Structure 1
Amino acid sequence: MRRALTAVVVLAAGGAASAFLVNRGDTSQAADQAAVALPVNTTKVTQQTLKDTETADGELGFGTTSAAVNRAAGTITAVPDSGQELKRGETVYSVDNKPTTLLYGALPAYRRLLDGSEGQDVLQLEQNLSAMGYTGFTVDDEYTDATAEAVEEWQEDLGLDETGVVELGSVLFAPGHIRVDSVAAQEGSPLGPNQNVLTYTGTTKAVTVQLDAADQRLAKPKSKVDITLPDGKVVPGRVEKVSTVIIPAESQDKDPETKVEVIVAVDDQKAVAAWGLASVDVTFTASERKNVLTVPVAALVALREGGFGLEVTDGTASSYLPVKTGLFANGQVEVSGAGIKAGTVVGIPK
């Protein structure tokens, strides 16, 4: 009986690796001769943290861009400058000399607020009034007479008619400070309802990455990433927001593309302060296995009876031991099995 050593290709985790197909149960003379033949190339089993990483292109900027939309017809009488930063209580723009004021809140303004109104937007309004120093009301989700009185005081300070009613379009709710990204409207121009006045972002630097839909596994909320800046410096970041976006087709004979947009927060703002808009590399970690035994993928041997093994040698003889494989990453593979430990010498087939 003869045993043939046949080279095969093993596909694993998107990478190709060479391995030998062997029959550990063959007891022929040829098999005995092959068993005593020592591997020419060897390596050692190592214990390490194995990471499945992937790097994508990113753009350093200010994160998600939002639009400020006019809600009532009129004439634009004041707009900010691009790049200008605005805080709570400041005027974003004015229509017919009536300001739209920036307030903080996650829920966009969608209705007029007056005595008797209830809801999250009322709570946001009252939280802002309180933060700006107005008192005499309970901060809750109910718009009462006391709330209306505080609104009248606020309107008086703004030089507006003291109606006690917050009209739709008179406030812009945003999560926090904003930075004006671009201005679409010009002072003195007429503007109808539902027209864009300007776009804005947050004021902290962030990185935007657009991944292919097939790579969505990389974008795990709150997961840590590494950001490589144009000068080669690497700073840490974390996935803050993940959303699906549709990229319009460039021509009629092409289909729209579906992308996964990832906003990466940068905790160390000083590290990126010197950069305005810049192209960066973002390295995502899809999987991580700590303190596991690993070998090069090329060391794997495909066993005739199924599964994988390693050719283990002590320098005088070698034998094949079956192993269980785990994570494949960066040319390494996680292995485990009887007789396999850190420092074990294994062969690498030619």
Structure 2
Amino acid sequence: MNRRTLAAAGSGALLVAVAAAVWLGRPATPDAEPAAVTVPVQRTTLTSELRLSGRLGHGPLTPVGDTTGTVTGLPRVGDVVRVGARVYEVDGRPVVLLRGKRPFWRELSTGSATGPDVRQLEQNLADLGFGGGFDVDERFTPATARAVRAWQRSIGAEPTGRVRPGDVVTVDAGDIRIARVDARLGGVDAAAPVSYTATAVRVTATLTPAQARELAAGTAVEVVLPDGTRVASTIAAIDPGGEPTGTDGETTPATATVDLPDQKAVADIGLPAVQVRVAKAERARALVVPVTALLATADGGYAVEVVRDGVVERIPVEVGLVADARAEVSTAASGDGPEPLREGDAVVIAS
């Protein structure tokens, strides 16, 4: 009889077989053969998981800014820039981070034509605490100009009441993390002087095309850190990939982005590889044995051997969920055979 180690155990495949109606009893004596290696049958929750390899990181780099003048101040890589704070400096003037979906393309001041860029500026002023005297709309009023001057004084800029395109940079996000600095102090008319990422650490896991079709944003996952810490999270986005990389016809792989709500758990561990686990099936209060306890029977079914009162009994079993090298098993009572498998029974495993 061959003891079958199930190749599908790691993949979480479901294996169901009809139990063989064969029972043998033999003494478990040292004189007959070496003592059997046994483990107890457990009653527990068995979960089948998809396991993905991922890496911690801050997400893709995005270049930002466009200077006209001499660069007189730059951030450092790793700096976190808050909305309303200086990103870099040109001709001694701070260039400030604002939130928005569109860049500022014209000077805004009293008398400017109405437009969504005015609304975007006023919304930023209101969010930064300078919006008490105006309504957030598409009109640049004297009250807007007073709020701009108050804001400019707070950041050490000349209080002109006007906002020029070169005074600010906009990102469709909140605070940013400086990931690369391409300009140099004293440089003139630098395009995209800095590049940024998100401030939060997240996980990017590479997917197969089939996994990219199966998984979706919002799916609950568990991220396992190198020290074994488990962090509950969800998939934030699925990128199907397939975009040209510009290298010999290669395309980008499919990926899953996983946000980490508990940033303290990853604050000081660098950016190592991690594992992402996605639960696919679960059995509560299942009778569970190691897959190395399963015997393949002649009729294609399975059995286990149990040591009871010094005697080895072979019990036919049906196999359910298989995961993590463990198998869910069930047995039925038989009038002329052994008693059904029970929690705590000592099953023989391959040694």
TM-score normalised per structure 1: 0.67
Q: Is the 8 A contact 1:44 1:343 kept in 2?
A: yes
Q: For 1:332, give the aligned amino acid.
A: R
Please say if 1:283 is aligned against 2:275: yes
Equivalent of 2:196, from 186, 197, 200?
A: 200
Please say if 1:133 is aligned against 2:130: yes
**Displacement after TM superposition at 1:225 (Å):** 1.8
| 2:168 paired residue number | 170
Equivalent of 1:79, from 66, 74, 78?
A: 74
| 1:44 paired residue number | 40
**Displacement after TM superposition at 1:272 (Å):** 5.3
Percent identical pairs in the alignment equals 21
Aligned residues: 318
The farther-off stretch of 183-192 and 308-317 is 308-317
Please say if 1:109 is aligned against 2:109: no
Q: Is the 8 A contact 1:102 1:173 kept in 2?
A: yes
Residues in 2 aligned to 1:308 and 1:43: alpha-carbon distance in whole angstroms: 18
**Displacement after TM superposition at 1:136 (Å):** 1.7
After superposition, the Cα gap between the structure-2 partners of 1:8 and 1:210, relative to the gap in structure 1 and judged at 3 Å, is: closer
Q: For 2:102, give the aligned amino acid.
A: A
Please say if 1:143 is aligned against 2:138: yes
Please say if 1:296 is aligned against 2:310: no
1:83-94 map, 5 Å: 83-94=78-89
**Displacement after TM superposition at 1:266 (Å):** 6.5
1:113-262 map, 5 Å: 116-118=114-116, 122=119, 125-139=122-136, 142-146=137-141, 148-149=144-145, 152-153=148-149, 157=153, 158-159=157-158, 161-163=160-162, 167=165, 170-173=168-171, 175-191=173-189, 195-204=191-200, 206=201, 208-213=203-208, 221=219, 223-228=221-226, 232=227, 234=229, 236=231, 238-239=233-234, 241-244=236-239, 252=248, 255-256=250-251, 258-260=253-255, 262=257
SS in 2 for 1:122: helix
Q: For 2:173, give the aligned amino acid.
A: P
State the Cα deviation string for residues 185-224 of structure 1 (Å, max 9, x = none). Answer: 12333336xx3211223445x2544435366679975533
Equivalent of 2:24, from 31, 35, 38?
A: 35
Q: Is the 8 A contact 2:224 2:274 kept in 1?
A: yes
Q: Is the 8 A contact 1:55 1:283 kept in 2?
A: yes
**Displacement after TM superposition at 1:101 (Å):** 1.4
SS in 2 for 1:175: coil
Please say if 1:318 is aligned against 2:308: no
| 2:31 paired residue number | none
Q: For 1:108, give the aligned amino acid.
A: K
Q: Is the 8 A contact 2:55 2:274 kept in 1?
A: yes
Residues in 2 aligned to 1:171 and 1:154: alpha-carbon distance in whole angstroms: 19
Residues in 1 aligned to 2:348 and 2:46: alpha-carbon distance in whole angstroms: 21
The farther-off stretch of 311-320 and 41-50 is 311-320
1:53-64 map, 5 Å: 54=51, 56=53, 58-59=55-56, 63-64=58-59
Q: Is the 8 A contact 2:203 2:258 kept in 1?
A: yes
Q: For 2:320, give the aligned amino acid.
A: T
Residues in 1 aligned to 2:262 and 2:84: alpha-carbon distance in whole angstroms: 26
**Displacement after TM superposition at 1:325 (Å):** 0.9
**Displacement after TM superposition at 1:279 (Å):** 5.1
Residues in 2 aligned to 1:221 and 1:71: alpha-carbon distance in whole angstroms: 39
Q: Is the 8 A contact 1:46 1:294 kept in 2?
A: yes
**Displacement after TM superposition at 1:184 (Å):** 0.5
Equivalent of 1:330, from 303, 324, 329?
A: 324
Q: CA RMSD in A?
A: 4.6
Q: Is the 8 A contact 1:227 1:282 kept in 2?
A: yes
SS in 2 for 1:260: strand
After superposition, the Cα gap between the structure-2 partners of 1:303 and 1:169, relative to the gap in structure 1 and judged at 3 Å, is: farther
TM-score normalised per structure 2: 0.67
State the Cα deviation string for residues 148-207 of structure 1 (Å, max 9, x = none). Answer: 4455435753326434x6648723236333332221012333336xx3211223445x25
Gaps of 5+ in 1: 26-30
**Displacement after TM superposition at 1:100 (Å):** 3.0
| 1:28 paired residue number | none
SS in 1 for 2:126: helix
Q: Is the 8 A contact 1:109 1:171 kept in 2?
A: no
Q: Is the 8 A contact 2:4 2:294 kept in 1?
A: no
Q: For 1:280, give the aligned amino acid.
A: P
Q: Is the 8 A contact 2:103 2:169 kept in 1?
A: no
**Does 1 or 2 have the higher relative contact order (CA < 8 Å, sep 6+)?**
2
SS in 2 for 1:293: strand
